[in-house]
């Protein structure tokens, strides 16, 4: 079975540079990754990789170092020929989809062939890009912010099913995110945008010194829906939306993320608790939560009102 990966060809802040790099990738059936200050890390162990990144970027906190190390490990050791790459432009646009044709390798000479002076990537991978879909813009953020992230088969299938064949990729044809086809995605965006109001200041969104906020927080074992911090105790709070999952799955997933946070982010004086948010009572979920002391359930309610006049 193929694995699925989201990959940013280059930062999207410079549109001209992005276009040049993406055109090169399409023409040459490739994709690349930078972090050139690290040199050749392709043969390093996980521990060596972590230590090299920490020494090269001493200003970065350990969680950020771990994320960078995980990206490089995936690039050189986990992504295999036959895997699926989703090239993203920012967090709302799917540039294209390809199939990995050759594994990642360190090749600093390759960058000199691009004729793009700003394109200084040293790490390269072969990808056979499909003719379609291309340049599909969604109305909400559907991709993680990191250069390279693993994507679930479920999310990939939802994304593909949300793209009508006739869409041409123009702004007027911006699609609803496959994740927002279900109500929980709207809920996640609403929670984040209104976080202080909803939780009345009792918890706040986590933000590390690398400027990674707690929405869709990537770990080495998956992506936490929302990572927060208790305003009084400074303890971590893992928030997961049930999203139609089975009770066993969402509880297990929440506990797994809590364990990762405890081991990776918590100081000796910090603890971590979990919140599962769902729409209606779930008896099986209730039984599971009764056997834990640090996970609670919160329920949401949607209200829709119609009016004869537009809002002022």
* Cis-peptide into 272, omega within 30 deg: no
Question: Which residue has tokens 């813009």?
Answer: 137
For residue 67, what pLDDT is reported? Answer: 87
Condensed to tens digits (0 to 9), the pLDDT of residues 258-293 reads 999 998 889 888 999 999 888 777 777 888 878 788
Residue 159: how many other CB atoms lie within 10 Å: 25
Q: Which of 274, 280, 276, 275 is nearest to 302 (CA)?
A: 280
CATH topology for the 182-299 domain: Trna Endonuclease; Chain: A, domain 1 (3.40.1350)
What gap in Å lies between CA 181 and CA 60, rounded to an integer? 36
For residue 311, what pLDDT is reported? Answer: 61
Q: Which residues of the chain have pLDDT under 70?
A: 164-186, 209-212, 243-247, 302-306, 311-312
For residue 154, what pLDDT is reported? Answer: 82
CATH topology for the 4-174 domain: ph1033 like fold (3.10.590)
HEC string of 180-200 equals HHCHHHHHHHHHHHCHHHHHC
For residue 168, what pLDDT is reported? Answer: 38
Q: Which of 72, 77, 82, 69 is nearest to 3 (CA)?
A: 82
For residue 209, what pLDDT is reported? Answer: 62
For residue 282, what pLDDT is reported? Answer: 73
Q: Which residues pair with 4 in a beta bridge?
A: 84, 151
Condensed to tens digits (0 to 9), the pLDDT of residues 166-218 reads 343 444 444 444 444 345 556 777 888 888 888 888 999 888 765 567 888 87
Domain boundaries for CATH 3.40.1350.10 within the chain: 182-299
The answer to whether the CB of 237 falls within 8 A of the CB of 246 is: no
For residue 212, what pLDDT is reported? Answer: 61
């Amino acid at each position: 079975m193929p694995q699925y990966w989201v990959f940013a060809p280059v930062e999207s802040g410079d549109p001209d540079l992005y276009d040049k790099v993406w055109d090169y990738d399409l023409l040459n059936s490739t994709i690349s990754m930078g972090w050139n200050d690290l040199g050749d890390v392709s043969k390093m162990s996980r521990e060596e990789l972590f230590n090299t990144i920490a020494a090269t970027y001493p200003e970065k906190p350990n969680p950020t170092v771990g994320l960078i190390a995980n990206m490089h490990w995936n690039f050189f050791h986990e992504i295999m020929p036959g895997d699926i790459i989703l090239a993203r432009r920012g967090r709302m646009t799917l540039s294209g989809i390809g199939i990995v044709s050759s594994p990642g390798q360190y090749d600093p000479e390759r960058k000199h062939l691009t004729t793009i002076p700003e394109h200084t990537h040293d790490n390269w991978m072969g990808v056979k890009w499909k003719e379609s879909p291309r340049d599909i813009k969604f109305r909400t953020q559907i991709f993680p912010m990191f250069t390279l992230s693993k994507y679930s088969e479920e999310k990939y299938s939802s994304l593909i099913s949300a793209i009508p064949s006739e869409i041409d990729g123009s702004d007027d044809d911006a699609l609803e995110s496959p994740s927002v086809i279900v109500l929980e995605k709207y809920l996640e965006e609403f929670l984040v945008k209104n976080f202080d109001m909803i939780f009345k200041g009792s918890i706040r969104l986590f933000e590390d010194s690398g400027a990674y906020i707690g929405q869709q927080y990537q770990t080495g074992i998956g992506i936490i829906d929302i990572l927060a911090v208790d305003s009084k105790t400074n303890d971590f709070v893992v928030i997961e939306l049930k999203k139609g999952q089975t009770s066993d799955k969402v509880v297990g997933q929440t506990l797994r993320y809590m364990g990762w946070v405890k081991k990776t982010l918590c100081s000796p004086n910090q603890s971590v608790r979990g919140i599962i948010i769902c729409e209606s009572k779930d008896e099986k979920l209730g039984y599971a939560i009764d056997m834990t002391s640090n996970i609670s359930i919160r329920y949401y309610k949607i209200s829709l009102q119609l009016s004869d006049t537009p809002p002022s």
